[in-house]
Structure 1
Amino acid sequence: MNYSSIIYALQMVLLAIVTFSEPAKAQKNPIYKNAAFDTDARVKDLISRMTVEEKAGQLSTLLGWDMYVKEGKQVKVSEKFKAAVSKEFTGMLWATLRADPWTQKTLLTGLNPELAAEATNAIQKYAITHSRLGIPLLLAEECPHGHMAIGTTVFPTSIGQGSTWNPQLIQEMASAIALETRLQGGHIGYGPVLDLAREPRWSRVEETYGEDPVLNSRMGEAMVTGFQGKNINSGVNVISTLKHFTAYGVPEGGHNGGSVAVGKRELLQSYLPPFKAAVKAGALSVMTAYNSIDGIPCSANHELLTEILKEQWGFKGFVVSDLGSISGLVSNHQVAGSAEEAAALAMNAGLDADLSGYGYGKSLVKAVNDGKVSVQQLNQAVSRVLRLKFEMGLFENPYVDAKRAKQTVRNPEHIALARKVARESIVLLKNQKNLLPLHNNYKKIAVIGPNADNIYNQLGDYTAPQERNSVITVLQGIKARAGSGTTVSYSKGCAIRDTSTREIAAAVALAKASDVAVVVLGGSSARDFKTSYLQTGAAQVQATANEISDMESGEGFDRSTLDLLGNQMELLKQVVKTGKPVILVLIKGRPLNLNWAAENVDAILDAWYPGQEGGNAIADILFGDYNPSGRLPISVPKSVGQLPVYYNFKKPAAHSYVEIDERPLYNFGYGLSYTNFRYDDLKAEVSGTGEQMRVTIHFSLKNTGKMAGEEVVQLYVKDKISSVVSPAIQLKKFKKVRLKEGEIQHLSFELEAEDLKLYNRDLQWVLEPGEFNLMVGASSTDIRLQKDITIK
């Protein structure tokens, strides 16, 4: 027996003596409040003191933005929160600091970082001092590309983060987000979203890292490590909640939350690996998805939540529902006839906590009292939540320093980091005749388009209200970089969705009078106060709405086409018709139809939603201050009729349609640079057998161009003969490498048995002997070096 086991045994003996000698309620210094005991003992002691109602309350995550009242520069708890403590025994809040049109929190009615910290302190103090057991709260916040609160740093959305192909940078970004969240009193950050985006009509593509399980896995690991650090009791880290478990990103017809058609082998082989990797990296929370898989809603799926997640993967954190998804077992999926039955289905499946406050609560209490849920099952769920409260040190240190929050949130270092992430996220799709980077001969620059000078269209969904001077638009970025010798003029031209043509003529006239035109088009996920929202926070789309917002992407805004909306194409065509050099900059949340632009526009930059520093980042690339290094994490189709069009399709190879070929317009992994790279001298060695098998790959990379730049080196594998149908090509490793002009680097990758395994006919995870084709290159269709190897 080791020392930790001896200590634990002694603590259990002490626990038994104390419990026997003095009734629990009479103890002056109960074990759960004594930090000298380990977490297991404290959890066991606290649960032994709790009623069924109090246990259910610990599993209820109420909507938090109504739990405080702001009066001038003062903030205090609301009557609604007092009732939640006294009547619902609530143990968690969600989105307490969230501000957006749905919550009706604005720059005026919401909280700056200092007041936010004071609000969460007030909420914690009231919960601790006005509840029977004095249990602190867990406060969860939305954190996919920055903490969704006023005054925080806004980074590019996840699809842009995926375009960096730089997990180390994303980990650094996640650490900054965690710091800003924790200093304001948050404990849980919702993110990363690990859904594979293989359906671009779906409204939430922007929240994902793209279509590939390996890229998603590496990004997920980076986010978890950045959020949680090495110790969640650090005071600067937060718990990471993985979303959405699982296969949420491929709904039939692109309908958000709709059912998915995924076989079990594909589920295991493609959709679960990013979650498994993030759990292995230490993730402490997982959120269920709204969809069903093969007729079983994810929020009531015992195989997913208990057998795979908890038993096979050893997940130690807690599972939380998506907002209202337990009630959705009654209203949406119709697999339960009552709220009590829905609570029992979810709890018995392994769903620990309810995001809403009405999925469990009284319904769960009734289910326990009626014998539909065992006390043991309830205790297991409660212990998973309480364990994290103890491990975060909330019983000893429930409060935060408001002054530190004021000084640290959105500091200059974080703003600089936002610019760096944005720069690396931008993908150069076309650069005819090396129009870019712009040279000094262009003295008159026209900046045109609905996304050229719109701060909210640049930021993506899950973004709080912003002060105007905190976001750098494309127009501002170009003006700041162009210098005094260049005239930069602006014309909006049109809106995203509105079909008015009254401003197009002015934009065309401006282009004619300029040396070069930068046309900024795309989409928007910017929530506005005109749009109505469902209880889940998703936008309620009204195709016949009188007032047309720009919003065409973001949760709830599913598309039937991928065309540029409104009169954007008319504007682009008219500007190109002037004969002036045209650079198309795209700011958007999903792949759009770029067929005409790819044939007729001189240069194209895809910036996704680049965040608050997007304008500066785009200017950095336009003027050559940074060599574009972004690569596509998702394929860009030519038509919705091709869908799905992800690169790692199952054999056999697709064939052409009557109207068009089968290939996407731009492939997964694609992206241009201002310099050129040459790949040479591929060598591959196989050593070991079975689980000890290793494949070591060596090659050289040379920058043969005239400026420094970064190349994303990608290693793909094809299993030439397999017992089950396998992908035609599959990414396995990648590395972002920076090379000076003329520099050569000798690079290597190592593949392990896990990298080459598959689920065989018996759904066993095995390495099959045979031949594999190794492919090294710059994208999934730009393979520079190949070699076959044999696994014996």
Structure 2
Amino acid sequence: MFALAAVAAPGFAKPKLARDPFIENLIGRMTLEEKAGQLSIYSDQTRFDYQRINPASDAVTREQTLDLIAKGRITALFNGIGVAGGRELQKTAVERSRLGIPLIFAGDIIHGMRTVFPIPLGEAASFDPDLAMRTARASAVEMSALGIHWTFAPVVDIARDERWGRVAEAAGEDTYLGSLLAAARVRGFQGSSLKNDDSVLACPKHFAAYGGVMGGMEYSDVDIPETTLRQVHLPPFQAAFEAGALSTMSSFNTIAGVPSTGNHHLLTDILRGEWKFRGLVVSDYTSDEELIAHGYAADGPDAARKAITAGCDISMQSDFYNKYLPDLVRSGALDVAVVDEAVRRVLYVKKMLGLFENPYRSLNEEREKRDIRTPATVALARESARRSVVLLKNEKSLLPLPKSGKKIALIGPFGADRDHLFGPWTIFPDRTAVVSLEQGLRAALSDSSLLTVVAGSGIEEPLAGGIDAAVAAAKSADVVVLAIGEGANMSGEAQARVEIVVPPPQQALAEAVAAVGKPVVVLLRHGRALALTGAVRNADAIMATWFLGSETGHAMADLLFGDASPSGRLPVSFPQASGQEPFFYDHGPTGRAQTSDDASFKSRYREVTNEALYPFGYGLTYGSVSYGATAVDMPELSWDGTVTVSAVIANTGKRAIHEVAQLYICDTVASLTQPVRVLKGIRHIDLAPGESKTVTFTLSRHDLAFVNASLKWEAEPGLFKVWVAPSSTAGTFAQFRLLPGIGIKPKRV
């Protein structure tokens, strides 16, 4: 029941697109070589140094690329930009190839083009799908202005092990939040119509369960039951497809021993059979070729056959489809109908993009100049950066700082840094327009001479005399702002970490500076949750700032000096120690749960409790907030009815706040054990000092459903707990009972 079968399973026939006469005419005129070409995508080596992005492969000259396009052997190129070059490439496809089928230009634009927004994990801290939609829309405008039709984003993996480097690219550990953001980003990228000149095709990735790799190790195996696959990892993809996404990318990992790129159950039975997905599947970079290294395919022809038969339509970079598909069909090893169906899906997507009507869409020299780094886009980058920051600690209301009257020592490798503001997967940023922490703070201070900037250490190495200089600066200051954390190259693809801590040279810097005795504000830069220790953990104030992008300095000045109040909430749990990973709030119960008064023979580590240092959903403001008791409007929920859950939230402080109220549920007894809490709702409210508001949520039985042993989403009658709370571990609970419907038997007591 839990195995992901490698062969076609009964029950779901491979869905076929409705026959479009235009597309069928093209397919009928194609040679096998041209069909294979429509299923092959390559890095654009004519307009960009592709080896800076992906692993090196055989170099292809501009002339060779143009020749392959003219022969109809390329369907798309990726990670090249520039309107003039794009028009030349497209002209070759449209005017020199036999059938004139246009190219798609694609790119790994994960969180911004020229204007860079916070990494997706950081933006997820806003808990705001509208913000995610707006930044995706702004990114689409910029990337389409530079000639891109298709972005390999959003990353919708649910990541529960912070050692995994690609946590930075995704939306965190929670399925509900991840699904909201996945749909929002798809809507932002694709706009009101895919045919619009400023819209780009979204590609939610990595399909599927890449965030579940064992040990947080990149490219590793995933060993989970199919119930977990369907309940935790698949919903964000389904949300993205329901929002209109017409492409997805297969993941590098195996699931139950079957690599995703060769997984018929995943790519055909579920994606096309159950979900009726009409779009295309593209392999990740050479992931079809890697079926051989996985031990799943014997050689290149075997890998190509298994990948396309499983449902992978486009081969990225390996050249396997161009090399092997024609001969596989001629030999009878591969049914040409399988190839035709893949080509049909690719041509359908090109038609939906409007490329047959206007092959030169998004290749406009006026837009290339006009739509880059507009004032509105830059302002949005500043807003999104502010709203991504999470205030973790603020002892004695140290923050916000005054703009005058106090000397500030900005210490750490990220104080003046301009090279590590963007984070991973930023290929084409405007590096001349980035705002560093130092620049932002100096611009905001009444007297810029109040700020002293000292590096103190490198990111992963000490600096000669660095700590002495930092200590001297701290002694001369009234307050220390310590800018420390991870470099941009420490997160992202192939950047798994054994210890998710502040690098030792920076930790040593923090200890020395803290010993001076001045108030310390820690600004963490990071692409994952970190296990904080020593002087960093004990600092007077701590902010999780992730990688905030182009407007980092201005956004941080807004927050540090109180022009804005922090409102972010953690999309990932901060563990007490690296050894707690994988760590996530919505874990299942155990028969021997640790309690505060009894730890013997309980589920626990010897060194730390099972709690997070800072839990999912946690975040402070500059105000003071109180939550009243959670209430339900009825003790029993009928099978087809609804229940209203509410709580009164009050601002008991002296500053206006933006609060993010969260609704959690717990199915107390089920046929399969369910998480101790699960997020089911988010409300954003603004509260003036002394103001209170009642927040309400509505639940139906559909919100209470889980994936049962029959692999169906179903609710079961019984008792449920609910919390309206500021985080996943706070709040008081209320409870109600879901009653069985007509013909529904109670399954439990």
Q: What TM-score, normalized to structure 1? A: 0.86
- How far off its partner does 1:357 sit? 4.8
Is residue 171 of structure 1 aligned with residue 133 of structure 2?
yes
Summarize deviations over 1:319-357 as a string: whole Å, max 9, x none. 110000000001x20211111110110111111111115
User: Which amino acid in structure 1 is aligned with residue 729 of structure 2?
Assistant: T
Show CA shifts across 1:602-659 (max 9, x none).
1001100110111111111100111100110001111122122111011114633222
**Deviation readout 1:72-124 (Å, 9 max, x if unpaired):** xxxxx921321221446211111123xxxxxxxxxxxxxxxxxx122211211
1:11-90 matches, within 5 Å, as 40-66=20-46, 78-87=62-71, 89-90=73-74
Aligned equivalent of 1:117: 83
1:240-389 superposed matches below 5 A? 240-330=202-292, 332-389=293-350
- Whole-angstrom distance in 2 between the partners of 1:230 and 1:240: 13
In the TM superposition, what whole-angstrom CA distance separates every residue of 1:395-442 from its partner, at most 9, and x where no partner exists? Answer: 221222111221111111111101111000000011011000012564
Match of 1:29 in 2: none
Report which stretch shifted further, 162-171 or 229-238.
Answer: 229-238
Distance change (3 Å), C-alpha of 1:506 and 1:390: same
2:173 counterpart of 1:211: yes
* Distance across 1 between alignment mates of 2:321 and 2:526: 38
Q: Distance in 2 between matches of 1:467 and 1:414?
A: 13
Counterpart of 1:730 (choices 634, 654, 678) is 678
Tell me, in whole angstroms, the C-alpha distance in 2 between the residues paired with 1:682 and 1:731: 15
Structure 1: distance between partners of 2:706 and 2:427: 43
Residue 780 of structure 1 corresponds to which residue in structure 2?
Answer: 728
Deviation of 1:719 after TM superposition, in Å, equals: 0.2
Determine if contact 2:632/2:644 at 8 Å carries over to the other structure. Answer: yes
Partner SS state of residue 369, structure 1: helix
Identify the range of structure 1 (379-388 vs 439-448) with the bigger mean alpha-carbon deviation: 439-448
Q: 404, 408, 412: which one pairs with 1:449?
A: 412
| Distance (Å, rounded) in 2 between the aligned partners of 1:201 and 1:80 | 41
* Cα distance between partner residues in 2 of 1:143 and 1:738: 33
The equivalences for 1:526-565 within 5 A come to 551-565=489-503
The answer to whether residue 356 in structure 2 is matched with residue 408 in structure 1 is no
Change (3 A) 1:597 1:667: farther
Residue from 593, 618, 622 that aligns with 2:560: 622
After superposition, the Cα gap between the structure-2 partners of 1:603 and 1:470, relative to the gap in structure 1 and judged at 3 Å, is same
Identity %: 39
Cα shift at 1:685: 4.1
For 2:503 and 2:630, the matched residues in 1 are separated by 46
In the alignment, structure 1 residue 587 sits paired with structure 2 residue 525: yes
TM-aligned CA distance change 1:650 to 1:461, over 3 Å? same
Q: Distance in 2 between matches of 1:137 and 1:383?
A: 15
Which residue of structure 1 aligns with residue 146 of structure 2? 184
Report if the CA contact (8 A) 1:95-1:140 is conserved.
Answer: yes
In the alignment, the residues of structure 2 paired with residue 521 and residue 680 of structure 1 have an alpha-carbon distance, to the nearest angstrom, of 37
Partner of 2:580: 642
Q: Displacement of 1:599 after TM fit? A: 4.7
**Contact persistence 1:501–1:567 (CA under 8 A):** no
Structure 2 gaps, min length 5: 1-17, 51-60, 595-602, 741-749
SS in 1 for 2:424: coil
Sort the Cα spacing of 1:791 and 1:508 in 2 relative to 1 into closer, same or farther, 3 A: farther
For 1:665 and 1:255, the matched residues in 2 are separated by 23
SS at match of 1:140: strand
User: What secondary structure, in the 3-state scheme, does the structure 2 residue paired with 1:557 have?
Assistant: coil
Q: CA RMSD in A?
A: 2.0
1:126 to 83, 92, 110: 92
Quote the Cα distance in structure 2 between the aligned partners of 1:780 and 1:746.
19
**Cα 1:662–1:79 shift into 2, 3 Å:** same
Match of 1:524 in 2: 487
The alpha-carbon distance between structure 1 residues 585 and 555, as it changes in their structure 2 partners (threshold 3 A), is same
Q: Could you tell me how far apart the structure 1 residues matched to 2:85 and 2:692 are?
A: 55
Report the Cα distance in structure 2 between the residues aligned to 1:684 and 1:53, rounded to whole angstroms: 64
Residue of structure 2 equivalent to 1:30: none
- Letter matched to residue 528 of structure 2: R
Amino acid at match of 2:525: I
Contact 2:646–2:696 at 8 Å: present in 1 too?
yes
**Maintained 8 Å contact 1:448/1:517:** yes
1:471 paired with 2:451, answer no
Matched residue SS, 2:726: strand
**1:628–1:708 distance in 2 versus 1, CA, 3 Å:** same
Conserved 8 A contact 2:630-2:731: no
Deviation at 1:736? 2.1
8 Å CA contact 1:94–1:355 kept in 2: the answer is no
Give, as a single letter, the amino acid of the residue that structure 1 aligns with 2:400: P
The residue number in structure 2 matching 1:715 is 663
**551-560 or 224-233, which deviates more:** 551-560
Distance 1:189 1:206 in 2: 17
CA distance in 2, matches of 1:575, 1:469: 32
- Deviation, 1:184, is 1.8
How far is the alpha carbon of 1:566 from its aligned partner? 4.0
2:391 — aligned with what? 428
* 1:475-525 CA-partner distances (Å, limit 9, x unpaired): 111111112275111111101112344311111101111111111000112
Change (3 A) 1:368 1:92: same
Residue identity in the other structure for 1:712 = V
- Structure 2 residue 622 is matched with structure 1 residue 674: yes
> Following the alignment from structure 1 to structure 2, what is the Cα–Cα distance between the partners of residues 302 and 245?
12
| Letter paired with 1:94 | F
Kept after mapping to 1: 8 A contact 2:72/2:98: no
Paired AA for residue 472 in structure 2: A
Specify the code of the residue in structure 2 equivalent to 1:376.
Answer: A
Structure 1: distance between partners of 2:49 and 2:256: 45
Change (3 A) 1:202 1:682: closer
Letter in 2 for 1:275: F
Residue number in structure 1 paired with 2:380: 417
CA change 1:355–1:754 in 2 (3 A) is farther
Measured against aligned partners, the alpha-carbon deviations of 1:707-726 in whole angstroms (never above 9, x if no partner) come to 22211110000001101111
Q: Secondary structure at the match of 2:348?
A: helix
Q: Could you tell me how far 1:52 is from its partner in structure 2?
A: 1.2
How many angstroms apart in 1 are the aligned matches of 2:320 and 2:471? Answer: 55
Distance in 1, Cα, partners of 2:239 & 2:643: 21
Q: Distance in 1 between matches of 2:350 and 2:537?
A: 57
Q: Distance in 1 between matches of 2:582 and 2:504?
A: 25
Q: Is the 8 A contact 2:104 2:350 kept in 1?
A: yes
Partner residue in 2 for 1:391: 352
Q: Structure 2: which amino acid aligns with 1:117? A: V
Cα pair distance change 1:317/1:685, threshold 3 Å = farther
CA 454–465 in structure 1, closer or farther in 2 if over 3 Å, else same: farther
The answer to whether the 8 A contact 1:89-1:131 is kept is no
Give the secondary structure class of the aligned counterpart of 1:783. Answer: coil
State the partner residue of 1:660.
Answer: 608
Determine if contact 2:253/2:259 at 8 Å carries over to the other structure: yes
The Cα of 1:205 is off from its aligned counterpart by 1.2
3-state DSSP class of the match of 1:249?
helix
Q: Aligned residue for 1:572? A: 510
Do 1:635 and 1:647's aligned partners in 2 also have CA atoms closer than 8 Å?
Answer: yes
